[in-house]
Amino acid sequence: MELPAEAHAEIVSLCNAGDECLERDDFAGGLAFFDRALRLVPEPKDHWEASTWIFAARGDAHFLQGNHGEAAISLRAAMKCPGGPGNPFVSLRLGQSLLETGEAAEAQEYLLRAFMAEGESIFADADPKYIGAIRHLI
């Protein structure tokens, strides 16, 4: 479903501001913008594509901050939204977050999804332990 143009524009603006915060390592600021954007998405949130990228952005912010459990919660939410299950970045970040929280078997599933969608290049900027976690499966 598509959001009304005005709501969509406001959500995009808030998410861009959140992304700018993340670029400055201002994770709390980024999360505040993403949360404001998410509040603009009508219920049920998991019916809107905008929720996919907002939850993914929240998950990324939590991951970069080292809050892997919170990252996994947001990324699991993104997986329930339109386009989430097929999004290689969401799969990668969820797999990384799960590996960091000790959920290795489930982490491998998502890391493998990311690999199958994008190949080894999706791991280019990641710690080698993440591709290492699935090396025996590929």
Please, which residues have CB within 8 angstroms of residue 76's CB and are 6 or more apart in sequence?
94
The number of beta carbons lying within 10 Å of the beta carbon of residue 128 is 9
pLDDT of residue 62: 97
pLDDT of residue 24: 97
Give the domain ranges of the chain.
1-67, 86-138
pLDDT of residue 29: 97
Q: What is the pLDDT of residues 9-27, one digit of tens each?
A: 999 999 999 999 999 999 9
Residues of the chain with pLDDT under 70: none
Are the beta carbons of 87 and 81 closer than 8 angstroms?
no
pLDDT of residue 138: 87
- CA pair distance 128, 10, nearest whole angstrom: 37
